[in-house]
A and B are shown apart, each in its own frame.
Chain A
């Protein structure tokens, strides 16, 4: 066994990670999970135990820009954020949209589905961007979070089941009375106009409404 570089009479127990010098127990410096000699020990800021642990340390936190770019690949943006279920959901939604576009359902509605697919791609990218940003800031991220808050503060929301029922009724109409559905769906551009008008009115309204929504929630 080698002798210590600094104390030639003492047996070395470790080697510096930076320069490879043999070190005795007295000379070795443990830092960042590795051994260094006193010369090469990196300056580490003292750990503040009072503050809560932050997910992202300065070395290689998640990059929101990279998440945004990866978000254009279906599901990959969410996987980059470590949210595998969300990635799967993103892929399934996109697959459903594409298969609907190619099915007879989209007869005459191709522009609408093209719009929806484009929107979905951008949604995935922005969702991944915001999640990565939250992770970078050390904020908690939820596997089932989205840009649009679906979950009510109380936990269980009613939006999911109601959406399921509405979807079921729509599909049922589509299979049993396709001509009705086609007649109604011809008017889809009016939905764009309606959404536009709604957003316009929401912007024009004074800002007070936003704060009033944050009324104290009932906690059980």
Chain B
């Protein structure tokens, strides 16, 4: 069960990052929030996903 959710996170990382990237660029297009300001969200997201993966998937 736990290993499954770990693998699940790994499989979802790419799509989630792509969606976030899309949202950030959409914000740049339609609001004043530019991507130059929001790009660190990607780092945080990557860290959170990795953390969840390790906490749930690392232990069999």
Kindly state whether residue B60 has any CB partner on chain A within 8 Å: yes
Kindly state whether residue B38 has any CB partner on chain A within 8 Å: yes
Interface locus among A65-73, A153-161, A189-197: A153-161
Kindly state whether residue A165 has any CB partner on chain B within 8 Å: yes
Kindly state whether residue A38 has any CB partner on chain B within 8 Å: no
Residues in chain A near residue B14, CB distance under 8 A: none
Interface locus among A20-28, A114-122, A134-142, A170-178: A170-178
Q: Is the interface of A mostly helix, strand, loop or mixed?
A: helix
How near does chain A come to B24, taking the closest CB pair, in angstroms? Answer: 12
Q: A140 vs B59: C-alpha distance in the bound complex, in angstroms?
A: 26
Q: Are A168 and B59 in contact (CB under 8 A)?
A: no
Residues in chain B near residue A175, CB distance under 8 A: 36-40
Q: Are A161 and B47 in contact (CB under 8 A)?
A: yes
Q: Return the chain A residue nearest B36 by Cβ.
A: A175
Interface residues of A (CB under 8 A from B): 154-158, 160-172, 174-176, 220
Interface pairs A-B: 8 shortest CB-CB: A168-B43, A164-B47, A168-B44, A171-B40, A165-B47, A161-B50, A161-B51, A172-B40
Additional 9 contacts, C-beta under 8 A, given A161-B51, A164-B47:
A158-B51, A161-B48, A166-B47, A167-B40, A168-B43, A168-B45, A171-B39, A171-B40, A175-B39
